[in-house]
Amino acid sequence: MLKNWKFKFFEISHLPEPNCPPDETKQVDSKELAFYEQSVGAWFQTNLEHDKTKVTLASGAIGLLITLFCFCSNQDNASWTTFFCMMVSILFFLTTIIISEVIFQKNATLIENIINGKESPSIGHFDKFSWITFVLGIVFALIYICNVAYHVLPPFCK
């Protein structure tokens, strides 16, 4: 959608309306152009907010996992599988944060290239990879939390 915005602007601004005087055609075209401009801006802001949200949630999850590890792990309930799940989850969340930062940089480059009239490669594969690592981080975090809860809660329930 963002790739062909210049062509869309050109098409909208140069299409004659049938049975309309030239002044009305120009007014309709400017309305359509403004609408399309706002649509592109809203689309870009929405995607940017998704990436910001992923970074925020991944950072919070890393903090939660480290806090759980510090306060809920002891010699009695420590196991390699629990530690492995925590480390893999943190690794996936860190990967999500790094990929999101790459996406932010690529978005800036994409906008600069569009303004300068250069062709830009798509960054959709970065977004998909970011979502995959985020979901895998959540899965391993849930496994870790369930494992910690299984080992820590029984003494409190007695």
Which has the closest alpha carbon to 103: 92, 115, 111? 111
Q: In the structure encoding, which two tokens stand for residue 91, read together?
A: 């690794």
What integer pLDDT is reported at residue 47 of this predicted model? 76
Low-confidence ranges of the chain (pLDDT < 70): 1-28, 74-78, 154-158
pLDDT number for residue 5: 47
Is the separation of the CB atoms in 152 and 76 below 8 Å?
no
Predicted local confidence at residue 45, as pLDDT: 82
**pLDDT score at 155:** 64
pLDDT at residue 59, as a whole number: 96
For residue 17, what is the DSSP state? P
Beta strands in 91-134 (DSSP E): none
The answer to whether the pTM exceeds 0.75 is no
Task: Select from 93, 92, 89 the least CA-distant residue to 81.
Answer: 89
